[in-house]
Amino acid sequence: MQKNIYLDYAATTPIDPRIKPKICSLLTKNFGNSASIHSCGQKAKLDLKKARKEIAGFLNCQEKEIIFTGSATESNNMALKGIAYANLDKGNHIIISNIEHPCIMNTKKWLETQGFSVSFLEVDSQGFVNPKDLENLIQANTILVSVMHVNNETGAIQPIEEIGKICKKYKIYFHTDATQSFGKININLKKTNIDLLTASSHKIYGPKGAGLLYVKKGVKIEPLLHGGEQEFGLRSGTINTFAIVGFSESVKILKKEMKIDFEKAKKIRQKISEKLKKIPNTTIISPENSIPNILNVSFNNIEGESVLMLLDQEGICVSTGSACSSKDLTQSHVLRAMKINPQVAQGSIRVSWGRFTSEKDINQFLDVLPKIVKKLRSYSPLK
């Protein structure tokens, strides 16, 4: 079988081979339960402590402010539900953007069935929320604002500094889902007013099964899981040492290489953009102010799933937000929120790259792509 060209880093990343030896030793040798008081358990406890310190250092926060979870989905669920239930005395109104990840969108739906009310902060045609709109949505009973840092479909970087300021002014908690931005662009928890932040290990070359929720000291939050009181009583369940240590090891690499990754991603983006400009009737959906490793692009008059499948036949993996590819045959809620014409939205694919993407991979992709677009257009009745 030919080697896959993986251009779906926004979905997940491979584990950096440099962290493999460390995490492998945790599987069979240092496998202890960090809650056990014998030496085997204490070793695991120490590993966990080191991991927490590493990540707290990276985020410039206190160790006690990091709650390890199983995934970004869990962290986002905890942020919304945990804040909602811990602050019932203050109100029951939450504001989220209308381009959040499904794990926020569906948590919103569930919270509404539980008597909470949720308002949407809507994005413009470029996919950005406007902080000015936020002030109009804030009510006396608003307890939480949740706006993602970087959108997973378009890469658009949201103005979280301004949103943080507004939330501080109105004394409302601010949560940001930083799953796509953590480790890629700087997040300064000392400068930006963020009360809660979600990040995930498997988007930054760490293993799947580890996420985190940063909870600023003093924030009132309820746990989702009750049990052995791990993670300062906020997230019970045996510590997944293997994944968490892997997470911190990947952060350790980022401390040195974040800038290198960023510059590399930027160069690739430039190269892809240049080439796309030569394919007629192509719309770049990602705005200028985007993370450099994601590009959402649409080829008019053809359909995204078909592009994806033909690329896949060539061993190239990308993603699409087209209606035909979704479970319920509805168009991506992000592109709909941007009010992108269906004719354009249907032909969209998301290409995302990262640390292990080679120039050869990109050349191969850019060689194959125009041919595929041309082929599918030759089948299409829309001209």
Partner 1 sequence: MKYNKKVLQHFQKPHNYGKIKNADGIGKVGNIVCGDVMYLYIKISKNSSGQDIIKDIKFETFGCTAAIATSSMITDLAKGKTIDQSLKMKGSDIVKKLGGLPPIKVHCSVLAYDALVEAIYNYLEKNKKEIPEKLKVKHQKLQKEKQIIEEKYQDWTDSQKNILDKNGKNNC
User: Alpha-carbon distance 357 to 335, whole Å?
Assistant: 27
Instruction: Give the one residue of 51, 303, 349, 357 binding partner 1; rule: CB under 8 A.
Output: 303
- Residue 339 beta carbon to partner 1: minimum distance, rounded to whole angstroms: 5
The site string for partner 1 over 68-87 (x = CB under 8 A, - otherwise) reads --------------------
Residue 88's identity, in one-letter code, is: L
Residue holding tokens 């929320």? 129
Q: Are strands 5-6 and 211-215 parallel, antiparallel or unpaired?
A: unpaired
Q: How far is the CB of 229 from partner 1 (least distance, A)?
A: 43
Smaller CB separation from partner 1, 46 or 324: 324
341 near partner 1 (CB under 8 A)? yes
- Given the complex with partner 1, which of 129 and 310 has the nearer CB atom? 310
Of the candidate residues 339, 363, 367, 374, the single one contacting partner 1 (CB under 8 A): 339
Q: Is 61 a catalytic residue?
A: no
Could you tell me the smallest distance in angstroms from the CB atom of residue 103 to partner 1? 22
Of the candidates 180, 325, 348, 352, which one interacts with partner 1 according to CB under 8 A? 325
Element containing residue 112 per DSSP (H, E): helix 102-113
Q: Is 296 in the site for partner 1 (CB under 8 A)?
A: no
Near partner 1 by CB under 8 A, which window of 42-50, 109-117, 167-175, 296-304? 296-304
CB 74 within 8 A of CB 211: yes
Residues 200-259 that bind partner 1 (CB under 8 A): none
In the shown chain, the binding pattern of residues 250 to 279 toward partner 1, with x for contact by CB under 8 A and - for none, equals --------------------------xxxx
Q: Which is nearer to partner 1, 147 or 307 (CB)?
A: 307
Which of the residues 24, 40, 167, 324 is marked catalytic? Answer: 324
User: Alpha-carbon distance 379 to 307, whole Å?
Assistant: 12
Please, what's the b/e burial string for 18-45 (b: 16 or more CB within 10 A of its CB; e: otherwise)?
ebeebbeebeeebebbbeeeeeeeebbb
Q: Is 141 in the site for partner 1 (CB under 8 A)?
A: no
Structure tokens at 219: 């924030």
Q: Position 13: which residue type?
A: T
Q: Which is nearer to partner 1, 164 or 347 (CB)?
A: 347
Q: Is 106 in the site for partner 1 (CB under 8 A)?
A: no
Take residue 111 and report the two structure tokens written for it: 């919270």
Q: Are 28 and 193 in contact (CB under 8 A)?
A: no
Cα 361 to Cα 73: distance, rounded to the nearest angstrom: 31
Those residues whose C-beta lies under 8 Å from the C-beta of residue 213, and which sit 6 or more positions away, are 67, 69, 75, 78, 79, 196, 197, 198
Q: Can you say whether residue 228 is alpha, beta or left, with left for phi > 0 and alpha for psi between -120 and 50 degrees?
A: alpha
Catalytic residue annotation: 324
* Binding residues vs partner 1 (CB under 8 A): 125, 276-279, 281-284, 301-303, 305-306, 309-310, 313, 322-325, 327, 329, 339-344, 346, 378-382
